[in-house]
Amino acid sequence: MSVMTEAATISESTARFLQQQHQLLINGEWVDAASGKRFDVVDPANGEVIATVAEGVSEDIDRAVRAARAAFESGPWSRITASERGKLIWRLADLIEHHLDEFAEIESLDNGKPRAVAAVADVPLAVDLFRYMAGWATKIEGTTIPISVPYMPGAEFHSYTLREPVGVVGQIIPWNFPLLMAAWKLGPALAAGCTVVLKVAEETPLSGLRLGELIQEAGFPPGVVNIVTGFGETAGAPLAAHPDVDKVAFTGSTEVGKLIVKAAGDTNLKRVTLELGGKSPNVILPDADLESAIPGAASAIFFNHGQCCCAGSRLFVHRNHFDQVVEGVADAARTIKVGPGMNPATEMGPMVSKIQQERVCGYLQSGLDAGAEAVVGGHRLGDSGFFVEPTVLVNTKPEMSVIQEEIFGPVVAAVPYDDPEELVSAANDSIYGLAAAVWTRDVSQAHKLARKLQAGSVWVNCYNVFDASLPFGGYKQSGWGREMGHEALELYTQTKAVTVQL
């Protein structure tokens, strides 16, 4: 395997954006971090610094929370109609769409993903999510409830519920789909009428900052969306622990998810929703159409370089087809064009950072040391940039870390099975429960397995199918709550029961 090097030139508008003196968006203004400190943003394809951003810390989080609180309690946002809220969100979607190429380029440079993939997946999905949530703004309704109150015979009441925004929301997002994760978080919060402090990932702060400019351009009142760049421990943690934040929505590692829960418990019991890791089983039944299952299994793990919380990282194949499927997925791995995301021919870019490259390679080494075998791949790739070979592992054991832990890289472990019952318990043998997939022509088997697999999403004869209207989230330690769909909105509102004696 080798890495391609040649990368397309950066457009003028993106070059200009990169050179800006990026600041924090607080109360509708771009401001420096209180500390005056900045940190580097690195292109993972070559390790070069492409921009610097402000290093927000607890003082900045505090300023941002105060702005969000003021906007929520007494600013124009507190009096805005649902229809106007929807219009603003829709306008933001239009603006993102108008700048689609620029966002695709920024995501590619910052995260490493192919620009073409960002242009057909990340950016349009973000646009669609905002439009979907814009429509919901006018449809957040309570109910009227015929109450009986047995201890007040003869009394008459009118009872109804109001669904009100939870208030000031802290949102902490990761680096694997920077713009899209911002959209998943901001869309429902804004539709519900909340105000937000968004802490973007330190590895990929740029698209969030560009989004902040468009939020200004769309006309959101000051303080409704505040954006802080900074590190997890010094900006994320104070947001999670802030006593005046009503809810924290987090996407990232299970380890940090637990810290967020603890921070909420230790302070004001703020609401917490979590979208955490996964180790998703992808199951090929004996009657599956292998012509679609094999490329499907390859794309389930290799899409976004395996840096997907729902990546199909454990591939269970009936023993009759095991060798054929493993060879097919390994062939797919061998032909993937690995290179800088900005090269139009690239199909797989680098890991987001040197740390992630080392993490993934550490898992590979531990698997190989423990007796697993790499049919293809198994190592880092190239001398510069943070590339890893697309890898297919076999001869794993259930207790190995490559089977139990989230690798978050282009590494799939293929495991044979004989008996369907054994398959279900092996597939569910994980602390995670984010996604699962089944490949079969047998409709009844498909639905039966969909019920038995412990996962928040189950795909049949497909993988990585997302839609703004479909709830997404985890069973078990993959998280709390759901993103997207109306379920996400519910988690940004709270119910008030109002009772009037007539």
Q: Which of 136, 155, 139, 138 is nearest to 147 (CA)?
A: 155
- The dihedrals phi and psi of 483, each to the nearest 5 degrees, come to -110, 155
- Taking the C-alpha atoms of residue 455 and residue 453, their distance in angstroms, rounded to an integer, is 6
Minimum Å distance from CB 309 to ligand NAI?
3
Distance between the two ends of the chain, CA-based, in angstroms? 77
CB-CB contact of 106 with 441 (8 Å): no
CB-CB contact of 388 with 348 (8 Å): no
Query: DSSP labels for 114-166?
Result: -HHHIIIIIHHHHHHHHHHHHHHGGG----EE----TTSTT--EEEEEEEEE-
Minimum Å distance from CB 27 to ligand NAI?
22
- For the chain, what's the residue count? 502
Contacts of 161 (CB under 8 A, 6+ apart): 142, 143, 145, 495, 496, 497, 498
Mark whether 233 is an active-site residue: no
Minimum Å distance from CB 364 to ligand NAI?
13
Q: Are strands 48-54 and 38-43 parallel, antiparallel or unpaired?
A: antiparallel
Minimum Å distance from CB 268 to ligand NAI?
16
Minimum Å distance from CB 420 to ligand NAI?
29
Of 86 and 278, which has the nearer Cβ to ligand NAI? 278
Of 260 and 435, which has the nearer Cβ to ligand NAI? 260
Of 176 and 346, which has the nearer Cβ to ligand NAI? 176
Minimum Å distance from CB 156 to ligand NAI?
50
Radius of gyration, CA atoms only, the chain: 24
Would you call 24 helix, strand, or coil by DSSP?
A: strand
Minimum Å distance from CB 115 to ligand NAI?
21
Of 88 and 407, which has the nearer Cβ to ligand NAI? 407
Of 195 and 229, which has the nearer Cβ to ligand NAI? 229
- The residue from 308, 309, 310, 361 that is catalytic is 309
- Taking the C-alpha atoms of residue 381 and residue 42, their distance in angstroms, rounded to an integer, is 18
Would you call 47 helix, strand, or coil by DSSP?
A: coil
- What's 353's DSSP letter? S
| 8-16, long-range: CB < 8 A, 24+ apart | 8/115, 8/342, 8/343, 8/344, 10/105, 10/109, 10/342, 11/101, 11/102, 11/105, 13/102, 14/102, 14/105, 14/106, 14/109
- What's 338's DSSP letter? B
- The residue from 203, 275, 347, 406 that is catalytic is 275
Mark whether 275 is an active-site residue: yes
Residues at the contact surface with ligand NAI, assessed by CB under 6 A:
172-174, 176, 199, 201-202, 231-233, 236-237, 240, 251-253, 256, 259-260, 275-277, 309, 359, 406, 408
Q: Which residues are catalytic?
A: 275, 309
